Amino acid sequence: MTDVTITVNGSVRSASVPPETTLLKLLRDVFQLTGTKLGCDVGDCGACTVLVDGMAVNACLMLAAQADGRQVLTIEGLAMKDRLHPLQKVFEESGALQCGFCGPGMLLSAKALLDDNPDPSSHDIRDALAGNLCRCTGYSKIVEAVQDAARAMRDPRTEDTRQLEMHGHD
């Protein structure tokens, strides 16, 4: 057994797991964070994308032990206490999530991109999301949604407007 201690969505978590356990298995089966999905288990689909120290990784390809001592962000940690992350809000509004199975991975890859580059071109977005497969949407709504979210996040008024919208003051 290998002891692993990671910070997941801000909380320190530890577990003792067989050494071959992937980060994906640790998150889903041990920590019960099932928002991260398993689509292929071989690094092809991106459904298992999480952020490790801010970088988008395929959790099915990373051993739990390799994440020891690192910061992990999963989809469960993306929303703020009282509001959605702008990406979640825009994805929801613009129909960028259909069956939703690719959604958690897609959103986290998009977050990693926007953290790095607040004003990505559609080419940058396609490039950043190239490892995240979606069989439902045809991608165009996803790319537009990421652009909309980027615009909203760059706009200094956004936070207040969003708060108001959320609480329904018209």
C-beta of 98 vs 147, nearer to another protein? 98
Pairing verdict, β 71-73 and 55-58? unpaired
**Residue from 113, 98, 123 nearest 149 by CA:** 113
Q: Which is nearer to ligand FES, 46 or 120 (CB)?
A: 46
Which residues are within 8 A (CB) of 154 and not within 5 positions of it... i.e. 6 or more apart?
118, 119
Among residues 2, 136, 144, 147, the one that binds another protein under rule CB under 8 A: 136
74 contact, one of ligand FES, another protein, none, CB 5-8 Å limit per kind: another protein
> Applying CB under 6 A, which residues contact ligand FES?
38-41, 43-48, 58, 60, 97-102, 134-137
* CB of 140 vs ligand FES, minimal distance in Å: 12
Among 6, 24, 37, 56, binds another protein (CB under 8 A): 37
Structure tokens at 28: 């889903």
How many residues can be counted in the chain?
170
Least distance from another protein to the Cβ atom of residue 55, Å: 19
Closest CA to 36 of 69, 70, 73, 87: 73
